Structure 1
Amino acid sequence: MKFQLAVNMERIDDNLDMQDVARHTLEMVQIAEEGGFDIVWAAEHHALEMTIAPNPFQILTWWAAETSRIRLGTAVATAAYWHPINLAGEAAFTDLITGGRLEFGIGSGAYQREFDRMRPGLKQSDAWRYMQEMLPAVRELWKGDYEHNGEYWQFPTSTSVPKPLQKEVPVWVSARSPITYDYAMRERCHVNCWPFTRPFAEAELYKKQLDEAIEKADNGWVPRFALMRHSCVYDNAADGENAMRAIRRLLSQFENLFRNLGDVKDGFPASIPLDELEGREQYDPVMLEENLMFGSPDRIIEKLKRYQALGVNEYIYYASMGLDHASQQKSLRMFVNEVMPEFKEG
């Protein structure tokens, strides 16, 4: 099993200094590289302090200058917010200056709130159409001169300048629905998935959809299949309680965004009071500890082996959940030192 890190610059409130946030985020990336992680992922989000990522390629360029081996991915570039020529060029330039370390992740986007600002009038539920038109155009632009006459973009003959350093840039698609799995296999993409806080059965569903899409495509493509969970390793009850408080607070902010309540001030989504969430399965502490990658090193190993047996060959350690910086780094180091050795090949 290979391991990847997803980490954001994040602030739950304005008590944290942005320079401290940036320094901590870079340190997490460097811990991951030193520990043998394969890829680190940067997101794209706009006008939200909980995920400070207005341009994932700029973030990867920053990380590249402070690392040497770990591969650098976008998870994800939101297709509808870009023009194909712009996206192809930004990605290719990033691949060039990082020494060919780019992993190109593309997706549809998460929150209606962002679409209302970045692509007014577009429903989040329709954004997959932009992604499916975007990717083939970007790949053609990487090859050379290309004219595009699509539903969402039209442009005369153009090309990506520069071209990627890699002959074939690895492309990843974030998939949850059968239509996206089918598309990913037709287009020969790798797949990452995120079951949110749902139980193991959700991962089983994604694997079933992947297998069906592979069979349907019948093109010989064997993708890498990565699964992401919020992760926290701890060895005492106090640290476990601290992690649970952090994730429940973060999830209450996600609830605000997914409902598109509009209750966001200066980039900080309001938390829905936890007493309004009591009894709701997705916030139950027992359920969260069971479904997320929370627990002692031995418990984490047990959970990962279950995913490995399912056919998940890469695990994405999602570090960002509003936990204090010291606890985030302690958890990641425990994962490196006490969990990952169990999964080393040979």
Structure 2
Amino acid sequence: MKFQLAINLERMNDSADMRVVRNHTLEMVQMAEQGGFEIVWAAEHHALEMTIAPNPFQILTWWAEHTDKIRLGTAVATAAYWHPIKLAGEAAFLDLISNGRLEFGIGSGAYQREFDRMQPGLKQSDAWQHMQEMLPAVRALWQGDYEHDGEFWKFPASTSCPKPLQEEVPVWVAARSPITYDYAMREKCHILCWPLTRPFAEAELYKQRLDEAIAKADNGFRPTFAMMRHAAVYDNDADRQNALDAIRLVLGQFENLFRNAGDVVNGFPKQIPLEELAGREQYDPAMLEENLLFGSPDTVIEKLKRYEALGVDAFVYYASMGLDLDAQKRSMKLFRDEVMPAFN
């Protein structure tokens, strides 16, 4: 099993100094590179302090200048917010500037709140159509002159300038639904999936959908199957409680965004009290500790071996969950020094 890192520049409130957040994020990326992580992922989100990522390529170019080996991925570029020529060019420029380290992740987008601002009138549930039109166009532009006459974009012959340094850029699709797994296998893309806070059975479901899509495509392509979970490794009760408190705070903010409640002030979503939610049992601390990659080093190793046995090729360590910065580094160090050697 290989390991990857997903990390955001994040603030839970305006007391956090953005310069400190900036420095911390880069330090975590460098810790991951030193520890042998394969890829680091940057997201794309808009007008939200919990995920400050208006342009993932800008973030990755910054990281590229301060790293040497770790590969640099978008998780994910939201197709509906881009024009194909611009997306192809920005991605290719990152590949050039990083000496061929681009991992191109594309997806449909997460929050209706963002679509209401970035692409008014588009339902989040329909955005997969933009992603499925975008990806072949980007790949064609990377090859040379290409004319596009689609449902969402139309343009005369054009090309990506620059071209990617890699002959074939690895492409990843964020997938949960069967239709997306089917598309990803037809287009020969690797898979990024995120079971949120759901139990291991959700991971098994995603693997089943992947296997079915591979069989249906029947094109000889075998993707890398990467699975992301919020992660916190701890060796004392104080850090354990700190991690559980942090994830529950973040989940209350996620509920706000997924419901499109509109209660966001200056980029900070108000936390919806978890005790007020229907289905609030899914935020029970014991359940969260069981389902997420939380625990002592030995517990985390045991959980990861279960994912490995399922067929997960790469585990994405999701570091951003509102945890204080020092605790994030302690967790990363424990993971790097005490967990990863069990899989080398």
Q: How does 1:159-238 map to 2 (within 5 A)?
A: 159-238=159-238
Shift of 1:281: 1.8
User: Does the 8 A contact of 1:234 with 1:296 survive in 2?
Assistant: yes
The match for 1:113 is: 113
**Cα distance in 2 between the residues matched to 1:342 and 1:34:** 17
Q: How does 1:1-346 map to 2 (within 5 A)?
A: 1-277=1-277, 280-344=280-344
User: Does the 8 A contact of 1:278 with 1:284 survive in 2?
Assistant: no
- Identity fraction in percent: 76
**Cα distance in 1 between the residues matched to 2:157 and 2:65:** 34
Where 2:135 maps in the other structure, the secondary structure is: helix
> Cα deviations across residues 223-250 of structure 1 (Å, max 9, x unaligned)?
0000000000001111100000000000
Shift of 1:278: 8.9
User: Does the 8 A contact of 1:277 with 1:283 survive in 2?
Assistant: no
Q: What letter corresponds to residue 197 of structure 1 in structure 2?
A: T
**Cα distance in 2 between the residues matched to 1:275 and 1:106:** 35
**Cα distance in 2 between the residues matched to 1:290 and 1:37:** 24
**Cα distance in 1 between the residues matched to 2:279 and 2:192:** 30
**Cα distance in 2 between the residues matched to 1:208 and 1:271:** 34
**Cα distance in 2 between the residues matched to 1:240 and 1:47:** 31
Q: What letter corresponds to residue 175 of structure 2 in structure 1?
A: A
Q: TM-score, normalising length from structure 2? A: 0.99
RMSD of aligned alpha carbons: 0.8
- Structure 1 residues 181 and 278 mapped into 2: Cα distance closer, same or farther (>3 Å)? closer
Gaps of 5+ in 2: none
- Structure 1 residues 190 and 15 mapped into 2: Cα distance closer, same or farther (>3 Å)? same
Q: What letter corresponds to residue 37 of structure 1 in structure 2?
A: F
Where 1:125 maps in the other structure, the secondary structure is: helix
**Cα distance in 2 between the residues matched to 1:62 and 1:255:** 31
**Cα distance in 2 between the residues matched to 1:116 and 1:29:** 32
**Cα distance in 1 between the residues matched to 2:326 and 2:111:** 29
- Structure 1 residues 165 and 112 mapped into 2: Cα distance closer, same or farther (>3 Å)? same
- Structure 1 residues 295 and 258 mapped into 2: Cα distance closer, same or farther (>3 Å)? same
Shift of 1:100: 0.3
> Cα deviations across residues 245-267 of structure 1 (Å, max 9, x unaligned)?
00000000000000000000000
Shift of 1:275: 3.5
Q: What letter corresponds to residue 181 of structure 2 in structure 1?
A: Y
Shift of 1:276: 2.0
**Cα distance in 2 between the residues matched to 1:193 and 1:56:** 18
**Cα distance in 1 between the residues matched to 2:172 and 2:281:** 31
Q: TM-score, normalising length from structure 1? A: 0.99
- Structure 1 residues 221 and 28 mapped into 2: Cα distance closer, same or farther (>3 Å)? same
Q: What letter corresponds to residue 2 of structure 2 in structure 1?
A: K
- Structure 1 residues 279 and 206 mapped into 2: Cα distance closer, same or farther (>3 Å)? closer
Where 2:68 maps in the other structure, the secondary structure is: coil
Shift of 1:274: 3.6
User: Does the 8 A contact of 1:8 with 1:52 survive in 2?
Assistant: yes
Q: What letter corresponds to residue 21 of structure 2 in structure 1?
A: V
Where 1:222 maps in the other structure, the secondary structure is: coil
Where 2:80 maps in the other structure, the secondary structure is: helix
